[in-house]
Chains A and B, each alone.
Chain A
Amino acid sequence: GAVVSQHPSRVICKSGTSVKIECRSLDFQATTMFWYRQFPKQSLMLMATSNEGSKATYEQGVEKDKFLINHASLTLSTLTVTSAHPEDSSFYICSARPTTQGYEAFFGQGTRLTVV
C-alpha cells in the first residue's frame, strides 16, 4: 500500500531556533500534501495545503511566515517551524494525496516537536 514517511518522528529544539519536518510519499507521487497539527488531548487541525511547485494555501488563523511549507517535488514536502517557541510544541502530521486519486488518503506517522 501507499506509504507516507515523516522525519524526524521526534525532535527537541531550543526556543528561537527553527526546525524542519519532512514528509515523503515513498511509493507514489503526490501533487498535494497536507499539514496538520494536534494539540494535547485535542483533535487534529489542518494547517495548510501544499501543492507541488506552487505556494501553500494556509487555513485561516495559521501564520504562514512562521510555518514555512515547501513542496519542491512530487514526493517531498517540508514544514519549517521558524523561531520556535514552547507554544509551538505539538504533534505535526502530514498526509499525501496520490496524483492518480481524487482525495487525500495516506497519512504519515507524525512528528512530536518539543520546544524547550
Chain B
Amino acid sequence: AQSVTQLDSHVSVSEGTPVLLRCNYSSSYSPSLFWYVQHPNKGLQLLLKYTSAATLVKGINGFEAEFKKSETSFHLTKPSAHMSDAAEYFCVVRINTGGFKTIFGAGTRLFVKA
C-alpha cells in the first residue's frame, strides 16, 4: 500500500533557527514528491517538487528538500526560520500505478517563536 507519513503534527522553532519537517513515504513505485504550504485563511502553495532529477531540490522562500530513496524520506529544511514561515506544511506523493494516485500527508503545523 502507498502512504505518506509526516512524522510530526506540530513543530515549534525560534526565529533564526533551522527548520526540519519530516516526511516518509511508502511506495513500490517511483514517486514524485512535493511539499506544499498553507498559510492561515489562504490556499495551498507549492514550495518545491522532486520528479527523478537532482535529489536535492531547492524551493521558494529558502526551503529545500532532499530525496533519500534508501530511507524513503523527503524531509523539508530551511537554515533560518522567519516569522512568516508559520503555517501548515503538506508532504505529497504522486505515483503511477496504471492510473495516477496522489497522496497527501496529514500535515505539520510549524510555529515560529520570536
Contact = CB atoms under 8 A, between A and B. Distances in A.
Query: Interface size for chain A: under 10, 10 to 19, 20 to 34, or 35 or more residues?
Result: 20 to 34
Interface in A31-68: 42-46, 49, 57, 59-60
A26 B94 CA distance: 27
Query: Interface size for chain B: under 10, 10 to 19, 20 to 34, or 35 or more residues?
Result: 10 to 19
A74 B100 CA distance: 23
Contact of B100 (A4, A59, A95, A108): A59
A13 B99 CA distance: 32
Interface stretch (B23-31, B40-48, B62-70, B76-84): B40-48
Interface stretch (A14-22, A81-89, A99-107): A99-107
B interface: dominant SS: strand
A114 interface: no
Nearest to B92: A44
A104 B101 CA distance: 16
Interface of A: 4, 42-46, 49, 57, 59-60, 93, 95, 103-110
